[in-house]
Each structure stands twice: as C-alpha cells, then as structure tokens.
Chains A and B, each alone.
Chain A
Amino acid sequence: MIVEIGHYALVLALAVALINSVLPVIGARRNDAGMMELATTGAYALFVLVLLSFLSLVWAYEASDFSVKNVWENSHSAMPAIFRFSAVWGNHEGSMMLWLLILTFFSALVALFGRNLPESLKANALAVQSWMGVAFALFILLTSNPFIRLSPVPAEGEDLNPILQDVGLAIHPPLLYLGYVGFSVSFSFAIAALLDGRLDAAWARWVRPWTLAAWTFLTAGIAMGSYWAYYELGWGGWWFWDPVENASLMPWLAGTALLHSALVMEKREALKIWTVLLSIVTFSLSLLGTFLVRSGVLTSVHSFTTDPTRGVFILGILMLFIGGAFALFAWRAPLLKAGGLFAPISREGSLVLNNLILTVSMGSVLIGTLYPLVLETLTGEKISVGAPFFNLTFGLLMVPLLIAVPFGPLLAWKRGDLLGALQRLYVAAGLALVAGLVFFYAKNGGPVLAVLGLAAGFFLVFGALADLWYRAGFGKVSVSTGWKRLTGLPRSAFGTALGHAGLGITVLGIVAVTTFETENVVEMTQGQTVQAGGFAVKFDGMRATKGPNFTEEQGHFSISRDGVQVADTWSSKRLYTARRMPTTEAGIVTFGTSQLYISLGDPMSNGGIVVRIWWKPYVLLIWGGALVMMAGGFVSLSDRRLRVGAPARRAKPVKAYAAEAAE
C-alpha cells in the first residue's frame, strides 16, 4: 500500500502543479493577492507530495519490494543498504523522480525565502516552476513510471549496474541535479519578468543568490563526477570530453557567465536583456544535460521503434520550454529599456569580456558535443570529436580568460584604469612567473608552454590575493588598520577571491598533471619491481576474495622509496555476479597532492599480469581547486550583510535571502 500511496501522491502532485501553473498567472494579471498567494501554498503542497512519493519509492528499494518493476530492474537484495538507496536514482525513472523532487524543493525555497519579492513576480516565477513540474510529472507518469507493479513477483532483482555501485556515484547525481535544477529558478524569474514586462536592477539582486547556489552545487557535481571517473574507470584520466561530461560543463560555463552578468545588471542596470537571455540559455543547457546524461536525447530518438513515447515526450519538453522561452524572449525583450552606459575598460567591460569568452567556449563545447550526434542521426555516419578538438578550441579560448580574471575585480565600475590595475598586479604577475619557473625547473621536463600554464595558474591565485590586499589597503595604511579593513570586507569579496583562486588551483593541477605525469604499461610477474615517479612499485601477487555481490581478483603492490617501504595498496578487478559484469578498482596511493595510480589489466599466460602504473603529480589540485571554488560560492551565499528589507506591510520578521558578490 505504501507504494500505491506514493503513486497516488505523484498523481496528486501533478494535479496541484496544473492548478499552480494557471491560477497564479491569472492572479498576477488581475492583481488578485489571494490567487497570487496560491502560488506559495501550492509550491509547499507540491514539494510535500513529491517528497512523499519519492520516499515511498525509497522504501520500496530499501525493503527490496520486487513487486515494483523499477526496483526489480535496478536492485538486488545482496546490495549494501547505501547502494539500495542510491539505486533509486541510478536509473532513468528514479532519476526523473529526483529531478522533480529537487525542482519542487527549489520552488518551496523560493516560496519560503521570496517574501521580499514583488507579488506578481513571485507568483509568475512559481507558476513557471509549476509548468516544469507538470511536464516532468506527466513525463514520469506516462512514459517513465517507477511505480509500475509486477505479477508474478520475482524472487530476486536484476542488480544495479556495477559501475554505479560506488559511493561517488551515490552522491554525484543529487549534487549535479541541485546544480541543473537550481538554474530553473533563474529561468523562471526570467520568464516571469518577461511576462510582467518589468526588469530592473532589483531583479538581478533577487536572482543572483539562486544562480550562485546552483553554480556552487554544479561545480561540486562536476568535480565529483570527474573524480569518480578518475578512480573508477581505471583509465587514469580525469576528463574525457565525453558527451555526458560536456553536458554538465555547458550549463556551468553559461551559469558562470550568468553569475557575472547579473552582477553588472544589479550594479549598473546594464546588460539586462543579455542577462535574461543567459538565464534562459543556462537552464536550456541544463535540460539538455539532464536528458543527455540519463536517457540520451539522441539515443531516445534512435529507439523510437522500441519506445516512441519517451523520445517524443523528451523532444516535446525540450521544444516547449526552450523554444517557448526563446519565442517569449524575442517577443518581449525589445520592449525592455536599455540600462547604464560604461567605458570599454571598466569593471563592466571586463565582465562583458568574461561573458564573451565563456559563451563562445560554451558554444565550442556545444558544437563538439552535438555535431557528431546530429550527424549520426541524419546520415548514420559515425564521427568522433575527441580531445584534440576541445583542447584546441576550448583550451585556446580559456587562455585570455585566465589572464584577464585577476584584472576584473581591480577595475572600477563605469570607467576603469587599466594601467592602474596593471601596476597593482605586476607584483602578482612577477611572482606568478617566478613561481611557475621554479615549479618547472624543480620538475625539469615538459614543454615550455607548461611554464606559461603554471604561471597563469599562479597568477590567478596571487591575483585573487592581491585583490584582497588592495581592498584592505595594506601598504597604504598601517597593518592594524589594514587588518581591520580586511576583516570588515563583505563576505562576497572573499567569495570572489576564493572562486578565482580556486580556478587558479585547478589550472595548476591540470597543467602539472598533463605535463609531468608518467605512464608505465608493463607485464609484471610476482616479485617484479617497476620505477614510477621516484617510487619503486613491487608486485607481491594476486589473491581472490568475495564481496557481498561480487567476486574480486586483487593484486597487492608495495611501494618504496630509496629502499624503504612507504605504502602498499590493493588494485583489483571485480566481477559482479548478478550481471556478470567486470569493473576495475584502481589502487591509488596519495602522497601530498600527488597520486600513484595502479590499474590491473589482463592476466598473461605465463602467470604474470598487465599492470598500468601512472604517476600523477599534483593531480588532487584539480579537485582541490573545485572545492575552493565551492567554498567561495558558499561564503558568498552566506553574506547576510545585504539582507534587503521586505515591504513593511507585513508584520512578520523579514527574511530576505539575498547575497551579494564582490562589488
């Protein structure tokens, strides 16, 4: 009965979403407070109902109720409880449920924290959220229903795809979806503003915390996914330019641009139309990403013969929301008034440059991702656009951006002084170059370009510090005054610095690992030793073990430096029994921020085994940088300095949820 109540709750949620997507809009048109407030109540009801439905599905997974088809297809009673839990979203149907849950969660948050919003904007934005709720609830119920029952009931499930039985993948999709769906809020605000015909600086202030939250989660999600691919796939790479990865990178690039353009709009009321467009583009890419990851927009087109409804539905949703949003934009945007003026060299100008580069690089990723898919659908020809394309286009585009980033925060609004900023940055630039050279000579190897790459990374880090340094006025005022001013700086200023420095750290990691990593592929027999990264890796032999739902061949390796053993590790190959599917579990040993990565290949006829050993210097900086960026996002979000007072009409205490990035 629990399952059926969950099913009914989902149907009821659809009904609430239907009501909520129409009545508040009428209320906003007719200026009826009651009907506009319905949006708030409806958003809460929607969230509670979807949560109820989701929890009943979770219960079915935890109890291994194989009378539910979705549970039978994706679970197994021998799986550990945590994977029975993460299996809920480890499949198409469940992941759509998670998407809907997070969508309604954000709607409820907007309802809760949006008390200072103009009533019509809030009602319209929540109605737009409900449109998406209707589309996704219908999609789930009609084509991807996780509550379908089976009779007769099988005794055992078919197991979750073994690649997904990993803690990393248990956390990854929720983080990623928090990012994807978080951008739905700025999308809804954009559509609401277009419906309302009112768009001003305050709008940007209201939208920015949501964008910032979504961006932070997406950063975390992408980093998590990349680290998971690194340690689970056993290929030693951390980014493959795979369509699934690109799908998450594109909204991140557009979201980063949005974050910066909203800043300009809030401060100067400029770039209004552009910001609205970016909101729409970012969420459109999120939608595309959702379907690319889980169902594959184009594979679902391919499988029209087997399941036409799902593919048609997905295309319908994409066309309705993306096409509809652009149509509305084309119709209403020309009516909006343009905002403030600024000189090319100014804070605004630098942010425009940032937006330009980010969107163009996003475009290059989009083309590289979709072109082969489209070509294959149209002509059946299979081409592969791999790393060389992306490294050339995306990589080259990123270079000027990395150099320009530290200048932005140092330029004044409206009319900036590039020379002044240069003067203030030359210390940071000089230090960065020296640090890059030192780093390079210490490692002594790799192309000359690496020096520049390393220097760019250091420049970002030092530039971020320099920004704080000059804001605090160190060097001009006494140390104690400087310190006082530093601690008095808005949190958003630290958020900016952390975000930019985090980017620099990631760049450092990427350049260092691509330049200095070494790879050995050797056939090893028991007792043999191989040198890697200054360590001696000795193969001690294999053993067979058994996990809850897999069997495992483990190889043991001792790692020593200068004859002294410093670490040891197991590297293994698993065979998941229910699906007869092999996976690799690489042995990874961490030394500081560097890692030794050992992956097992195929056994040889002479009793030896093929072993791949990578030495990955400073590889952890890649994800460490992402963590610092995330920290920046959260610090910025926690900036309560600018809680904006709500209309005094209400007696309740005011809780504005506004954050302010660096000014």
Chain B
Amino acid sequence: MLFWIIVAILTAAVAVFLLKPLMRPGREGDAARTGEAAVYKDQLREIDRDLAGGLIGEVEADNARAEIGRRLIAVSATGAADGRRASGATLRKIAAGIVIVVLPATGLCLYLLTGSPGTPDQPLAARLENPGNNLDLLVAKAERHLAENPNDGKGWDILAPIYYRGGRLGDAELAYRNAIRFLGVNAERATGLGETIMAGNQGIVTEDARLAFEEAARREPKSPRPRFYLALAMEQAGRRDEAKAAFEALEKDSPADAPWLPLLREHIAKNSSDGPPVASAPGNPTEADVKAAEGMTSGDRQEMIRGMVASLDARLKEDPNNFEGWMRLVRSYAVLGEKDKAVAALKVALTTFPADGTEGRQLVAMAKQAGLDVEGAMK
C-alpha cells in the first residue's frame, strides 16, 4: 500500500512541476534574437581589447568590426520580420491535458508490464540475520563466519558434506581437509574426503582417494563405505579376484537387510570369472571401442586413443563450430603429453571462439589448468 502511495505522490509531483510553465499567462517567444545580438556585441568589445593589447593591427580590427557589424544588422533585420504567430490558450490546454494523461498512463502501463510491484527488498545482511530454513543462506552465513575464523574446524566439518551434496566439489575437498587439519582425522571425515576426490575424478578411486579410504578403514574396520570403495579401487585396477574377495567379505559382514546388498552382489557378479567384463572408466569412446580396448596391451590402447583423437581433430577441421569438441581435443592432447599439438589445437579453436568470448575464456582457463603455454596460442 505504502508503495502505491509513494508512486501516486511521485507522479503527481512530476505532473505539477511540468504543468507550471504551461499554466502561466500566454506569452510569445523571444523573436528579437537578443541572445545572438549579445554575442556579437561582445565580439566587438573583444576586438577593442585585442587592439588595445596590441594583438591585432588597426586595419584587421576595422575589417573584423565591419564583418561583425554586418552580422549584427542581419540579426536585427530578420529578428523584426521573424515574429511568428503566437498560439492561443487552446493549444496550451491541450498540452496540459497531454501531460496529465501521458504521465500516469505511460507510467502505470509500462511499470505493470515490466515491474514486480509488492516485491520487498532483500538486502543480504537482513536475510542473514534471519535465514530461516534456507540452506543456501545458512551456508552463506557459515562461510562468512569461517572467513573471519578460518581455524574453526567444526564449521568446516558441518559445511563439507553440504558442499559435497551440492556438487561444490572443490569447496568440499577444501572443507574436509580443513576439518581434518583442525579436528584430526576420523573415519567419517576421511571417507567424505575420499568420496569427494572420487566424485571430482569421474568416479575413479585415485591414489589420494584410496589413501583416505584406507585411513578410514584403519580407524573403523567395520565401516562398510570405505571397505566398499577400497574393493572398487581393486576392481578398477583390474585385480578382479582380490576385488571379488573384498566385496564378498563385505557382503558377509553386512546385515541381511542392508540397502547396499544389491549393489554389492552386482559387483561380485561383475568380478566373477564368468561375469561380463569390467567397464573401464567413463569416457567418450563407444562401447565397441571399449570392448576392443579390453584385449589390448597398454601400448595398443594408447595407439587406439591416439587414433580417436586424430579423427576428432580431423572432424573439427571440417566443422570447427563445435565447442565441446575443441575442449575435448585440447584436453586430450594435453593428457597425452603432446603439448605442441594441444597449443596448436587451442590456437585454431580460438579463431572460432575468440579468447574474449564466453567459450574462448573457458578454453583458455582449461588450457591454463592443463599447463599449456596459453600466451603463445593467443598471439
């Protein structure tokens, strides 16, 4: 309500202000062009000053005076003849009507079209005072607290799993590490850290993650989560028998109604000698490629990857307007250790996606992370 009162007052005040000149008794405009005459008279005085100061000679001064004099005469001559017919009061009444109608009409119509009447202001400080159940706000509040007290391990401990669930993996890893640093390691934190690292590596149990799970398993040997991931690590490393044994041991220790049993059995079946082959880490090759890769030596596999990268390169040369493709190509070359090719690919990619555009920036940022000589490619 208050809002609409202010709107009404504002509109009325502007209308009154605009109507003021229209309400005065009618008067004709200034036809005598006195302003222009004043300029020329001043120019004449200026000539005198210059003459007195010795900046111009007598002859030039006379010539200039004559010229300005002609302008002055021209002004007064046309000025007298130029008196245009003044308008009546009717015109001004119409004008006043336009002001009265146009202001509120345009104002309200457009505002109702584009505005959000009644939406309150929501300054962050006030929202943080009273966050309610808004998880994002609670997180923001905790972040502010931690920015001021970065040694508060408890805060990190609370935030870490929230970050993890929200997909903010980088923040989650930092929070877990800080929590471990200030509060010491326990099974829960170590497992969380391991899961976070794993999630950041497309589900692969990396060395860092495996160490974290081992730490957790050492502290709580009965805990199923670290044991499961350690078994998974063996599976991913291709040690199928060991993995199968570990999964089976976990199955034996689990209660009969444990919700993870179906998943366990799936893995046990997968690692049995008569089960289907293990899928390698998720990537972009087709299933047939993966099948083919299974039977290869590691050298052959490298060769196959190179072949795929080369075909991607060729495809992009024909159709360079494929941002995802470029990202993959540059990254692949960087991973294969062929930095020159990566930089060359980046260079070509940047001609299609300039470095100052959104895609270009992503390309550059990715290349920088991959340790490429980005400056060279941007030249």
- What is A's interface to B at a CB cutoff of 8 Å? 1-5, 7-9, 11-12, 14-16, 18-19, 22-23, 26-38, 40-42, 44-45, 49, 60, 63-67, 77-78, 116-120, 141-142, 145, 147-149, 151, 153-156, 200-202, 205-206, 268-269, 340, 382, 412-414, 471, 473, 485, 488, 580-582, 601-602, 642, 644-649, 658, 663
Q: Quick check: B30 and A118 within 8 Å, CB to CB? A: yes
Q: Quick check: B60 and A382 within 8 Å, CB to CB? A: no
A145-B127 Cα distance, complex, nearest whole Å: 24
- Select one of B17, B75, B122 contacting A66, CB under 8 A: B122
Q: Quick check: B373 and A602 within 8 Å, CB to CB? A: yes
Central interface residue in A66, A581, A649, by most chain B CB within 10 Å: A66
Q: Quick check: A205 and B124 within 8 Å, CB to CB? A: no
Q: Quick check: B63 and A414 within 8 Å, CB to CB? A: yes
With a cutoff of 8 Å between Cβ atoms, the chain B residues found around residue A2 in the complex are 121
A642-B98 Cα distance, complex, nearest whole Å: 41
A471-B21 Cα distance, complex, nearest whole Å: 49
With a cutoff of 8 Å between Cβ atoms, the chain A residues found around residue B39 in the complex are 201-202, 205-206, 644, 658
Closest B-chain residue to A382, C-beta based? B351
In angstroms, how far is the closest chain A Cβ from the Cβ of B216? 29
In angstroms, how far is the closest chain B Cβ from the Cβ of A57? 12
A156-B373 Cα distance, complex, nearest whole Å: 34
Given A31-B28, A32-B29, A663-B50, do A19 and B124 touch, yes or no (CB 8 Å)?
no
Give per-residue flags for B80-92: 1 if the beta carbon is below 8 A from chain A beta carbons, else 0. Answer: 0001111100011
Q: Quick check: A34 and B26 within 8 Å, CB to CB? A: yes
- Select one of B18, B33, B107, B121 contacting A38, CB under 8 A: B18
With a cutoff of 8 Å between Cβ atoms, the chain B residues found around residue A11 in the complex are 106-107, 110-111, 114-115
In angstroms, how far is the closest chain B Cβ from the Cβ of A497? 15
Q: Quick check: A201 and B85 within 8 Å, CB to CB? A: no
Closest A-chain residue to B111, C-beta based? A11
A151-B120 Cα distance, complex, nearest whole Å: 11
A19-B144 Cα distance, complex, nearest whole Å: 49
B302 proximal to A (CB < 8 A): no
A471-B55 Cα distance, complex, nearest whole Å: 7
Closest A-chain residue to B41, C-beta based? A645
Q: Quick check: A156 and B71 within 8 Å, CB to CB? A: no
Q: Quick check: A119 and B30 within 8 Å, CB to CB? A: yes
Given A66-B122, A141-B114, do A647 and B34 touch, yes or no (CB 8 Å)?
yes
A58-B28 Cα distance, complex, nearest whole Å: 43
Given A8-B115, A413-B64, do A32 and B26 touch, yes or no (CB 8 Å)?
yes
With a cutoff of 8 Å between Cβ atoms, the chain B residues found around residue A1 in the complex are 2-3, 6, 120-121
Give per-residue flags for B32-65: 1 if the beta carbon is below 8 A from chain A beta carbons, else 0. Answer: 1111101111110010001001111000100110
With a cutoff of 8 Å between Cβ atoms, the chain B residues found around residue A582 in the complex are 365, 368
A294-B75 Cα distance, complex, nearest whole Å: 45
With a cutoff of 8 Å between Cβ atoms, the chain A residues found around residue B144 in the complex are 77
A488-B54 Cα distance, complex, nearest whole Å: 12
A2-B11 Cα distance, complex, nearest whole Å: 16
Please tell me which stretch of B135-143, B201-209, B290-298 contacts chain A, meaning at least 4 of its Cβ atoms lie within 8 angstroms of it: B135-143
With a cutoff of 8 Å between Cβ atoms, the chain B residues found around residue A141 in the complex are 110, 114
A2-B120 Cα distance, complex, nearest whole Å: 8
Q: Quick check: B85 and A31 within 8 Å, CB to CB? A: yes
Q: Quick check: B114 and A145 within 8 Å, CB to CB? A: yes
- Select one of A67, A78, A601 contacting B122, CB under 8 A: A67
Q: Quick check: A644 and B67 within 8 Å, CB to CB? A: no
With a cutoff of 8 Å between Cβ atoms, the chain A residues found around residue B249 in the complex are none
Q: Quick check: A15 and B106 within 8 Å, CB to CB? A: yes
- Select one of A7, A580, A645 contacting B115, CB under 8 A: A7
Given A31-B84, A41-B20, A644-B39, do A8 and B7 touch, yes or no (CB 8 Å)?
yes
With a cutoff of 8 Å between Cβ atoms, the chain B residues found around residue A154 in the complex are 136
With a cutoff of 8 Å between Cβ atoms, the chain A residues found around residue B35 in the complex are 116-118, 202, 644, 646-647
With a cutoff of 8 Å between Cβ atoms, the chain A residues found around residue B63 in the complex are 414
- Known A-B contacts: A11-B107, A33-B30. Give 17 more (CB < 8 A): A1-B3, A12-B11, A15-B110, A16-B103, A30-B86, A32-B28, A32-B29, A35-B92, A44-B17, A49-B14, A64-B124, A77-B140, A117-B35, A201-B71, A471-B55, A602-B368, A645-B41
B288 proximal to A (CB < 8 A): no
A120-B83 Cα distance, complex, nearest whole Å: 12
Q: Quick check: A41 and B36 within 8 Å, CB to CB? A: no
Q: Quick check: A142 and B114 within 8 Å, CB to CB? A: yes
A474-B144 Cα distance, complex, nearest whole Å: 69
Closest B-chain residue to A38, C-beta based? B21
In angstroms, how far is the closest chain A Cβ from the Cβ of B233? 28
10 contacts between A and B (CB under 8 A): A30-B85, A31-B29, A32-B29, A34-B26, A45-B14, A64-B123, A77-B144, A118-B33, A200-B36, A268-B67
Given A41-B20, A145-B114, do A644 and B38 touch, yes or no (CB 8 Å)?
yes
B147 proximal to A (CB < 8 A): yes
Central interface residue in A16, A29, A45, by most chain B CB within 10 Å: A16
- Select one of A8, A40, A201 contacting B107, CB under 8 A: A8
Q: Quick check: A413 and B40 within 8 Å, CB to CB? A: no
B286 proximal to A (CB < 8 A): no
B308 proximal to A (CB < 8 A): no
A149-B120 Cα distance, complex, nearest whole Å: 10
With a cutoff of 8 Å between Cβ atoms, the chain A residues found around residue B3 in the complex are 1, 4-5
Q: Quick check: A4 and B30 within 8 Å, CB to CB? A: no
Given A7-B111, A14-B106, A154-B136, do A119 and B29 touch, yes or no (CB 8 Å)?
yes
Give per-residue flags for B91-117: 1 if the beta carbon is below 8 A from chain A beta carbons, else 0. Answer: 110010011001101110011001111
A502-B250 Cα distance, complex, nearest whole Å: 82
Q: Quick check: A149 and B116 within 8 Å, CB to CB? A: yes
- Select one of A28, A34, A117 contacting B24, CB under 8 A: A34
Give per-residue flags for B1-13: 1 if the beta carbon is below 8 A from chain A beta carbons, else 0. Answer: 0110011001100
In angstroms, how far is the closest chain A Cβ from the Cβ of B115? 5
Q: Quick check: B64 and A63 within 8 Å, CB to CB? A: no
Given A64-B124, A485-B53, A663-B50, do A34 and B36 touch, yes or no (CB 8 Å)?
no
With a cutoff of 8 Å between Cβ atoms, the chain B residues found around residue A45 in the complex are 14, 17-18
A9-B18 Cα distance, complex, nearest whole Å: 15
With a cutoff of 8 Å between Cβ atoms, the chain A residues found around residue B103 in the complex are 12, 15-16, 19
Q: Quick check: A156 and B140 within 8 Å, CB to CB? A: yes
Closest A-chain residue to B104, C-beta based? A15
Q: Quick check: A116 and B38 within 8 Å, CB to CB? A: yes
In angstroms, how far is the closest chain B Cβ from the Cβ of A577? 9
Q: Quick check: B38 and A485 within 8 Å, CB to CB? A: no
Closest A-chain residue to B30, C-beta based? A119
Interfacial residues of chain B within 361-379, with CB under 8 A of chain A in the complex = 361, 365, 368, 371, 373, 375
In angstroms, how far is the closest chain A Cβ from the Cβ of B86? 6
Q: Quick check: A63 and B123 within 8 Å, CB to CB? A: yes
With a cutoff of 8 Å between Cβ atoms, the chain B residues found around residue A67 in the complex are 119-122
A485-B143 Cα distance, complex, nearest whole Å: 69
- Select one of B2, B105, B134 contacting A155, CB under 8 A: B134
